[in-house]
């Protein structure tokens, strides 16, 4: 890049201003590291996002990370639904495997918070400035909304980017936080292992006559997977997984027929169920990047690991990863070292792989076992479910991750 050309200089360029990108910029700012957030959306959409129907299960560790970033205090208590435990059902059996049954009201398994609430709180917590100079000061955040990267080139000491507007950016590190379908990851040349599950997921809040006990349900039935996430005493977020063709039929139902259908799918266990919000549909795709880093490049959030929602850990793993990378960058800055050195990035990749690979593999195993309706698989999962109530490694892995504190 020609030095005579006006260039905006920043420590870290972050593509994607979703909750992970926002929290990463926040964490960097607190380490005295400047950053630029680049996103195709307008700032207004980040400031007051629309509902997307998704409820995020936050572990205790995630709540602590959000608290350090001044995000958790901006989530109203009424938006925090405590989850005492989780049950896993198979078919019409009344037997359920209990996950973390010893969790209590004061020490719950986790909290459920709407995704849009987390996004809004993350945006509000990010203390932003827009300096007029081409070199922001320590910890300052620049915004480039309604923008995308046209192209970039990585050198020995920096990454040079050109936005679609023509603006030139000079950064020490480029970070992709732009979803599991990341175009930035693809431009980096990082391959990804993609698992097309051949199903679509519907999420919708439902009122129900009978109260639940603040316990999440995961229910594997013939040709479908159901989940129930507690929101309020008589309100839950329903998650229904079906084939694309069956999902089309589901969404074509009238409101009355939809309510009756969901009530029937849950076997009437919570009485009559009535739609409390518009349903949203998402294709189910899991991804795991072959590499989390490249020369002066890194992946965080779903761009690195896009989890199947069955174990509800995607956002939590993303928070752990951004916190891990921000701490490494902050330490390097404090010691006057390169914040994007190959050794730093290799350490981030190693630690994040150790944190994500076992749970990702376990999740795929669960999905494979419980979505296979052939007779041998159905018999096996019933046996696994009952054996797991006593001692099941995957159960301990999931519960341990949920209950873990970052202390």
Q: What is the pLDDT of residues 19-46, one digit of tens each?
A: 999 999 999 999 999 999 999 999 989 8
- What value does the mean pLDDT take over residues 217-231? 78
Q: Angle at the Cα of 135 (from 128 to 339), degrees rounded to 5? A: 85
Instruction: Tell me the torsion sign for CA atoms 318, 320, 325, 330.
Output: positive
Is residue 87's pLDDT more than 60?
A: yes
Q: What is the pLDDT of residue 372?
A: 52
Q: Which of 325, 6, 294 is closest to 159 using CA atoms? A: 294
Q: What is the pLDDT of residue 278?
A: 95
Q: What is the pLDDT of residue 152?
A: 97
Domains and CATH numbers, the chain: 8-52+120-193+285-370 (3.50.50.60), 83-110+196-284+373-403 (3.30.9.10)
* Helix 393-403 and helix 342-370, axial crossing angle in degrees, nearest 10: 130
Please name the residue that has the structure tokens 């990341």: 182
CA 201 to CA 282: how far, in whole Å?
5
| pLDDT tens column, 240-269 | 989 999 999 999 999 999 999 999 998 898
- What value does the mean pLDDT take over residues 269-291? 94
Q: What is the pLDDT of residue 4?
A: 46
Q: What is the pLDDT of residue 137?
A: 83
Q: What is the pLDDT of residue 181?
A: 94
CA 70 to CA 79: how far, in whole Å?
16
Is residue 370's pLDDT more than 70?
A: no
């Amino acid at each position: 890049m020609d030095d005579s050309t006006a260039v905006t200089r920043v420590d870290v360029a972050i593509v994607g201003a979703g909750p992970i990108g926002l929290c990463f910029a926040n964490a960097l700012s607190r380490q005295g590291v400047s950053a630029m957030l680049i996103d195709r959306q307008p700032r207004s959409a980040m400031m007051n996002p629309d509902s997307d129907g998704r409820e995020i299960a936050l572990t205790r560790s995630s709540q602590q990370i959000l608290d350090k970033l001044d995000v958790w205090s901006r989530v109203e208590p009424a938006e925090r639904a405590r989850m005492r435990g989780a049950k896993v059902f198979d078919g019409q059996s009344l037997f359920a495997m209990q996950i973390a049954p010893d969790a209590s009201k004061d020490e719950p398994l986790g909290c459920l918070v709407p995704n849009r609430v987390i996004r809004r709180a993350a945006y509000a917590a990010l203390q932003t400035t827009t300096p007029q100079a081409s070199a922001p000061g320590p910890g300052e955040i620049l915004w480039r909304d309604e923008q995308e990267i046209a192209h970039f080139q990585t050198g020995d000491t920096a990454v040079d980017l050109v936005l679609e507007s023509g603006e030139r950016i000079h950064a020490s590190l480029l970070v992709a936080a732009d979803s599991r379908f990341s175009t930035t990851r693809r431009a980096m040349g990082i391959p990804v292992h993609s698992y097309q599950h051949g199903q679509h997921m519907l999420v919708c809040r439902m009122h129900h006559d009978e109260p639940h006990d603040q316990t999440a349900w995961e229910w594997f039935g013939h040709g479908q997977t159901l989940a129930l996430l507690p929101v309020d005493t008589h309100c839950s977020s329903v998650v229904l997984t079906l084939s694309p063709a069956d999902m089309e039929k589901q969404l074509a139902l009238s409101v009355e027929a939809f309510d009756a259908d969901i009530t029937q799918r849950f076997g009437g266990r919570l009485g009559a169920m009535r739609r409390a919000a518009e349903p949203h549909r998402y294709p189910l795709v899991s991804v795991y990047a072959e590499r989390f880093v490249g020369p002066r490049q890194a992946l965080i959030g779903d761009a690195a690991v896009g989890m199947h929602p069955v174990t509800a850990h995607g956002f939590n793993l993303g928070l752990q990863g951004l916190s891990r990378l921000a701490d490494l960058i902050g330490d390097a800055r404090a010691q006057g070292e390169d914040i994007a050195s190959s050794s730093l990035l290799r350490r981030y990749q190693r630690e994040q792989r150790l944190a994500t690979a076992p749970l990702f593999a376990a999740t795929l195993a669960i999905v494979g076992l419980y979505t296979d309706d052939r007779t041998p698989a159905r018999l096996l999962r019933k046996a696994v479910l009952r054996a797991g109530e006593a001692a099941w490694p995957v159960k301990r892995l999931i519960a341990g991750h949920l209950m873990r504190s970052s202390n």
